[in-house]
Chains A and B, each alone.
Chain A
Amino acid sequence: MTKFRTLWWLEYRRSRVWAAALLGSLVFWAWGLEQVPYAMPEERFGIRAGLLGAGAIVGVVVLAFMIGRVRSETRQGQYQILLLTPPSGYLHVLARFAFALSVGIVYAVAIGALLWWAAARAGLHLDPASAAQLLLVCPLYGAGIAMAPLLAWTLLLMVLASAYRISGTAWIPGTVMVAATPFILRFLGERLSYVLYTLPGWRLFANLEAVLAKAKVEGTSEALHAGIVLPQEPLWGMLALAVAMLVLAGRIWQEVEA
């Protein structure tokens, strides 16, 4: 536990500027939401939701860059001695991943809060249960289904490339892995789609119909009126994939740096 805390502190020291910049960018997105020109409330909400979607994508990309800085730090970085000493490779990888994911979850919850604010401005006043789902369930689901696998993939990519740095061929595993990933993802996606909704789904925003009727929103799809049902299977599948990639990254770190 002490080793993990040390590595967590190391991550904090190394990535705090990135994390602060990412969380600070929320002010920019909040300012951007305020700049949306006057239009119909539904249109304004749509534009704001789109802006927040863009903010979420930018946040994940920034986190991926943050977690991927492996090579320069292990060889020329300020903490190279600490990086190459006793704690196991698994612990190094876990600390790096956990720090980035924590920052990402805080960022995602803040994006959810901004979406809640935008919905309220559009006259969509959610009940406490729905607000909690928007603030916690949706960001955590998004983190589990997209953020965690992407961060784990980035970590595996950079650790794999680092394993070839002595032979000077680091670009080959990087190229091969980037090229093969879409095909592997398509294969896994097809398998996941076969079992979709085998387990009971999670129903969110159960009273969405009442909220929409109260706000006099027209033109929404019938499916939305019954609420949104999130399938469990993609979440468990992508989390399992993230864990598998982290184990592989830790194993490679162990074999190369130990």
Chain B
Amino acid sequence: MTEAFLIVVRILLLCLLGYWGFRLWGGTRSWTSRAVSGLCIVVLVWQVVGGRF
């Protein structure tokens, strides 16, 4: 039950991060901003998928 709940939470978080990544990619014309935002998104995805929290 708890594990299933956590899986659902993780999937929802991944959807949110994917949506934010899409908005961050198209929200600016600065490539460095895209790179910094992308790095942060990758770190958060990494934590959601295989993190220790």
* Chain A contact residues, CB within 8 Å of chain B: 156, 160, 163-164, 166-167, 169, 172-173, 175-177, 179-180, 183-184, 248, 251-252, 255-256
What does DSSP make chain A's interface, helix, strand, loop or mixed?
helix
B14 beta carbon closer than 8 Å to chain A: no
Q: Would you call A179 and B44 a contact (CB within 8 A)? A: yes
Number of A-B contacts (CB under 8 A): 69
Instruction: A202 to B47: give the CA distance in the assembly, Å.
Output: 36
Which of chain A's residues have a CB closer than 8 A to the CB of B51?
183
Instruction: A251 to B39: give the CA distance in the assembly, Å.
Output: 16
Which of chain A's residues have a CB closer than 8 A to the CB of B20?
172, 175-176
Instruction: A248 to B41: give the CA distance in the assembly, Å.
Output: 17
Instruction: A160 to B34: give the CA distance in the assembly, Å.
Output: 9
Considering the complex, give the chain A residue whose CB is closest to the CB of B44: A180
Q: Would you call A163 and B44 a contact (CB within 8 A)? A: no
Q: Would you call A180 and B24 a contact (CB within 8 A)? A: no
* Chain B contact residues, CB within 8 Å of chain A: 20, 23-24, 26-33, 36-37, 39-41, 43-44, 46-47, 51
Which of chain A's residues have a CB closer than 8 A to the CB of B30?
163, 252, 255-256
Q: Would you call B28 and A167 a contact (CB within 8 A)? A: yes
Which of chain A's residues have a CB closer than 8 A to the CB of B33?
160, 163-164, 173, 252, 255-256
**B20 vs chain A, min Cβ distance (A):** 5
Considering the complex, give the chain B residue whose CB is closest to the CB of A245: B36
Cβ contact of B23, chosen from A172, A179, A184, cutoff 8 A: A172
